[in-house]
């Protein structure tokens, strides 16, 4: 059976639906191609000497794994010279990375978490790459960090690649969500799911339960009610899953529904949450909304949040619409 390739899908989006200009299509193809290279490194594991710590820390003070650094370098290198980008930003780089002068400048900005779920690298559990594409505002030459600080609803494309039992690329250009599976023999991405929809209701939640005692009352209430099962107010039993790789948890939710939460907690009250807004929460929120789900920080739609800085953190509640609305409703709206 012949399947639609990523290129065919994108060309259709460009030609027939007019959703994406040619430059954006090429940019997405470069990101997708780089994910294939990252997948090769991930698969080699110890044979490729890619496991373990790199012995360095990123701007957020987190120890970098070798694969964090390798994936970051691969994405930088592949995207610099294509002519479609003005600058890039990454979880693993302190500041934005301008496209060097020797290459033509494009009009897009690319943000990414090169290797999400770093704690799972060495234990052979699914990990991923998350990316978000924005358009550079204005027409003036040069790019600054301020150009990146756009709310998530300005994203023109977003997606992730999950390195799991299958390597899959999940993408939105604002016209629903499509999933592609890497065909290793062919070396190409084949469309394997289109118009992905997240069921509005679910009986499955994902949260790091070890933080329970630190949560705010609305999150505690929601989880307590789930745990109470058939005899509690929800009158049904819930199941729990926590991969500790956001890509894998979101992939499950896009596939069969569920709710994912990484909420604020009182250990570091000044930090809104663990996850980063611009290259983790925003792209995932865009995908989830495009699949009919919802994504909030407890009081506001994630895609409407105005970022104040590149590595800003955010509280995340996303997935099946009715459940996300329920938890959000338990929070007292800010005045």
- Report in angstroms how near the CB of residue 302 gets to Mg ion at its nearest: 15
**Is residue 266 part of the contact set for ligand AHM (CB under 6 A)?**
no
Stretch in the footprint of ligand AHM (CB under 6 A) among 81-89, 115-123, 154-162, 193-201:
115-123
Using CB under 6 A as the binding rule, whether residue 246 contacts ligand AHM is answered as yes
- Report, in Å, the least distance between residue 245 CB and ligand AHM: 5
Q: Give me the least distance between CB of 14 and Mg ion, in Å please.
A: 30
Q: Indicate which of ligand AHM, Mg ion, none lies near residue 245 (CB less than 5 to 8 Å, by partner kind).
A: ligand AHM
Total of chain residues touching ligand AHM, rule CB under 6 A = 13
Nearest in space to 176 (alpha carbons), one of 18, 13, 8, 303: 13
Packed helices 217-227 and 321-330: angle between N→C axes, nearest 10 degrees: 130
* Residue nearest Mg ion (C-beta atom): 116
CB-CB contact of 112 with 90 (8 Å): yes
Q: For the CB of residue 236, give the shortest distance to ligand AHM in the complex, in Å.
A: 25
Integer CA distances (angstroms), 311 to 45, 131, 187, 279, in order: 29, 14, 34, 8
92 close to 58: Cβ distance less than 8 angstroms: yes
Binding segment (CB under 6 A) for ligand AHM, from list 28-36, 73-81, 160-168, 243-251: 243-251
Helix (H) or strand (E) holding 200: none
Cα-Cα-Cα-Cα torsion 238, 244, 245, 248, nearest 10 degrees, comes to -20
Binding segment (CB under 6 A) for ligand AHM, from list 36-44, 110-118, 151-159, 194-202: 110-118
Print the binding letters for residues 183-212 with ligand AHM: x by CB under 6 A, - otherwise. -------------------------x----
56 makes contact with ligand AHM (CB under 6 A): no
Nearer to ligand AHM, 119 or 239 (CB): 119
Whole-number Å distance between alpha carbons of 166 and 3: 17
Residue 125 interacts with ligand AHM (CB under 6 A)? no
- Sort strands 157-163 and 167-172 into parallel, antiparallel or unpaired: antiparallel
Stretch that binds ligand AHM, among 114-122, 151-159, 289-297, 325-333 (CB under 6 A): 114-122
Torsion, CA 214, CA 216, CA 218, CA 221, rounded to 10:
30
Stretch that binds ligand AHM, among 2-10, 27-35, 117-125, 197-205 (CB under 6 A): 117-125
Please tell me whether residue 119 binds ligand AHM under the rule CB under 6 A: yes
Residue 37 CB, shortest distance to ligand AHM, in Å, is 19
64 interface partner picked from ligand AHM, Mg ion, none, CB below 5 to 8 A per type: none
Contacts of 76 (CB under 8 A, 6+ apart): 88, 90, 97
Q: Whats the size of the chain, residue-wise?
A: 335
How many CA atoms lie less than 13 Å away from 168 in the CB half-sphere?
A: 20
């Amino acid at each position: 059976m012949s399947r639609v390739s990523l290129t065919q899908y994108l060309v259709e989006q460009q030609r027939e639906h007019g959703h994406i200009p040619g430059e954006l299509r090429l940019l997405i193809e470069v990101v997708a191609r780089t994910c294939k290279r990252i997948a090769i490194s991930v698969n080699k594991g110890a044979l490729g000497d890619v496991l373990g710590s790199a012995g360095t820390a990123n701007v957020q003070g987190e120890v970098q794994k070798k694969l964090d650094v390798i994936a970051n370098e691969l994405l930088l290198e592949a995207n610099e010279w294509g002519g479609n980008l003005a600058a890039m930003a990454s979880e693993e780089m302190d500041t934005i990375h301008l496209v060097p002068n020797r290459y033509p400048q494009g009009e897009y900005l690319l943000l990414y978490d090169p290797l999400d779920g770093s704690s799972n690298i060495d234990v052979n559990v699914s990990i991923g790459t998350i990316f978000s594409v924005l358009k550079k505002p204005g027409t003036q030459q040069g790019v600054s960090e301020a150009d990146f600080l756009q709310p998530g609803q300005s994203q023109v494309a977003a997606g992730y690649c999950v390195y799991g039992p299958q390597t899959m690329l999940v993408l939105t250009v604002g016209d629903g969500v499509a999933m592609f599976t890497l065909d290793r023999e062919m070396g190409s991405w084949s469309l394997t799911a289109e118009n992905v929809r997240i069921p509005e209701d679910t009986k499955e939640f994902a949260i790091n339960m070890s933080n329970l005692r630190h949560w705010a009352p609305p999150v505690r209430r929601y989880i307590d009610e789930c745990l109470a099962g058939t005899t509690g107010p929800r009158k049904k039993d819930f199941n729990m899953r926590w991969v500790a790789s956001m890509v894998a948890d979101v992939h499950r939710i896009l596939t069969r529904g569920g709710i994912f939460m990484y909420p604020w907690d009182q250990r570091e009250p000044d930090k809104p949450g663990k996850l980063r807004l611009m290259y983790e929460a925003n792209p995932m929120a865009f995908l989830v909304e495009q699949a009919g789900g919802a994504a909030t920080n407890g009081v506001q739609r994630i895609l409407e949040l105005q970022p104040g800085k590149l590595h800003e953190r955010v509280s995340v509640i996303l997935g099946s619409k009715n459940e996300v609305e329920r938890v959000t409703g338990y929070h007292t709206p800010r005045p």
